[in-house]
Amino acid sequence: MKDLVFDLIKQEKVRQSEGLELIPSENYVSQAVLEAMGSILTNKYSEGYPSFEGIPGWEESQIAEEILPNYRYYGGQVNIDRIERLAIARACQLFHADHANVQPHSGANANEAVYFAWCNPGDKILAMSLPAGGHLTHGSPVTRSAKIYNFISYGVAADGDIDYAELESKALKEQPKIILIGYSAFMKIPDFDRIAKIAEKIPDCILMADMAHVAGLIAGGVHPNPLDHGFHVMTTTTHKTLRGPRGGLILSKGHVASPLKKPEKTIANLPILIDRAVFPGTQGGPLEHIVAAKAVAFGEALQPDFKDYATKIVANAKTLATELQKHDFILQGGGTENHLILINVKDSFGFDGKLYEIALDKVGLTLNANSLPTDKGGAFRPSGVRLGTPAITTRGFNQNDMKTLALWMKKVANLCKKAYAKSPDSPESALDNFSDEFEAIHEEVRTLALKYPVPGI
């Protein structure tokens, strides 16, 4: 008997094929990445690490053939070691790093490992606040790391960019162990050189960049790489714009040494400090089928056509932002410099972001309600919505399609206004009064979506 799970997977395939994914942290992986994730590598336990001897600069054919000593706790690692060394070498090449740890299960795990590698409990970390566009793992009080380390937050200026004066003032006053630049709802390109100069004034402070959202743009050459601008560590997820499997990655500058070595806590030793913080510090056995899928995704990102993809992501986002503004949408920061757009729904149309998210779902447009830097609506009734172009660009959508998308979004906004006017206390229920109008838009979305097949479906 076939499990019900597979019927639900089929239904999800239909949803993905007939709708458009606008959540900026989501994407579609290639058939090759899917095959690696679904491989028999999931059967293998591989606690520890392969030998790192000569990884950066090695030829791939040599990596695939060379048998080196390993630092594993289980036997049968010959093929696993080769695959993980490939992933490490490709990541280093892609991001100009001295070392890569490809084992973190997520971006959150990657961040926690870096904190654990460099900080003691109670040490200060300076990071962007969640309301300003930062991430939960950058000091939100609901997280474990916020209970261990002392997070100091900085915000954004009126133009939507980092408040560099506040960042510098707090850095000099608080003397943090880490200055962290990272975000999940920020539309500008950070001035990494300016931040690096600030960090030079603080002893024993490392510069860390959480580039989970824009790693694919960095790989594609349309966003600066913090590792080229004085940063010591870069963490990222491997999905989002990088278009790989769900997982984490830590890239670092410094001396690459045996993971058996007990290193001093110096900036030069960051690679080994981080490796020991991942395993055995915060994780057990790596997910080697995911590591293999990461290696495949990194290989894809090293191809020339990935640069074209990254360029199109940004072009589509900028066009979509412009078209939305033509339809009276107010955008945080006045637009975007990357893949991500944050709409101030409340100021644009008078209703909140959650109502708009629910309404857009009815027509097959998926995004998420999101707080704004000055939001008073709370996490469950925020004033904004967040959307982006990585997934639809993967499917082949172009700048002309962004005009159509903006028009659909305005039509849905108009229906939300009618529902809110009809029932201010229960506008979600009032949406049902306009089911015919929603279905008409949904059919238009479905027709266009099916012209652009989802990879792997």
The SS3 call for residue 156 is: strand
Has residue 35 got a pLDDT over 60?
A: yes
Q: Decide if 265 is catalytic.
A: no
How confident is the model at residue 1, as a pLDDT? 56
Annotated catalytic residue within 18, 26, 35, 47: 47
Closest Cα to residue 274, out of 333, 208, 176?
208
- % of the chain surpassing 90 pLDDT: 88
Q: Map tokens 């095959």 to a residue.
A: 35
Q: Decide if 447 is catalytic.
A: no
Has residue 353 got a pLDDT over 90?
A: yes
Residue 270 and residue 116 in contact, taking contact as beta carbons nearer than 8 Å: no
Has residue 93 got a pLDDT over 70?
A: yes
How confident is the model at residue 65, as a pLDDT? 75
CA–CA distance, 31 with 394 (Å, rounded to integer): 13
Architecture of domain 31-119+195-301: 3-Layer(aba) Sandwich (3.40)
Q: Map tokens 């915060």 to a residue.
A: 282
pLDDT band (50, 70, 90) for residue 56: low
Q: Decide if 401 is catalytic.
A: no
Amino acid at 131: P
Q: Decide if 246 is catalytic.
A: yes
CA–CA distance, 199 with 193 (Å, rounded to integer): 10
pLDDT band (50, 70, 90) for residue 398: very high
Q: Which stretch of 214-223, 256-265, 273-282, 304-313 has the lowest confidence by average pLDDT?
A: 256-265
How confident is the model at residue 377, as a pLDDT? 65
Q: Decide if 85 is catalytic.
A: no
Has residue 378 got a pLDDT over 80?
A: no
Closest Cα to residue 132, out of 170, 104, 106?
170
How confident is the model at residue 61, as a pLDDT? 75
Annotated catalytic residue within 112, 210, 288, 323: 210
pLDDT band (50, 70, 90) for residue 63: confident
Q: How many helices (H) and strands (E) does the chain have?
A: 18, 14
pTM for the model stands at 0.95
Where do the structural domains in the chain lie, given as residue ranges?
Answer: 31-119+195-301, 305-449
Annotated catalytic residue within 246, 307, 381, 418: 246
How confident is the model at residue 70, as a pLDDT? 81
Residue 98 and residue 125 in contact, taking contact as beta carbons nearer than 8 Å: no
E-assigned strand segments in 295-416? 340-344, 365-366, 368-370, 384-388
Average pLDDT over residues 386-406: 98
Sequence-ordered list of residues with C-beta below 8 angstroms from that of 11, at least 6 positions apart, any chain: none
Annotated catalytic residue within 90, 170, 188, 240: 240
> For the domain 305-449, what is the CATH superfamily, name and number?
Aspartate Aminotransferase, domain 1 (3.90.1150.10)
Average pLDDT over residues 276-299: 96
CA–CA distance, 371 with 382 (Å, rounded to integer): 5
Which stretches of 362-434 are DSSP H helices? 390-395, 399-422, 427-430
pLDDT band (50, 70, 90) for residue 263: confident
pLDDT band (50, 70, 90) for residue 55: low
Q: Which stretch of 66-75, 110-119, 265-274, 338-347 has the lowest confidence by average pLDDT?
A: 66-75
Residue 215 and residue 240 in contact, taking contact as beta carbons nearer than 8 Å: yes
Average pLDDT over residues 373-398: 90
Average pLDDT over residues 353-375: 95
pLDDT band (50, 70, 90) for residue 92: very high
CA–CA distance, 345 with 382 (Å, rounded to integer): 9
pLDDT band (50, 70, 90) for residue 404: very high
Annotated catalytic residue within 35, 45, 164, 307: 45
Select the more confidently predicted residue: 64 or 231: 231
Residue 125 and residue 177 in contact, taking contact as beta carbons nearer than 8 Å: yes
Q: Decide if 240 is catalytic.
A: yes
pLDDT band (50, 70, 90) for residue 380: confident
Has residue 195 got a pLDDT over 80?
A: yes
The SS3 call for residue 120 is: coil
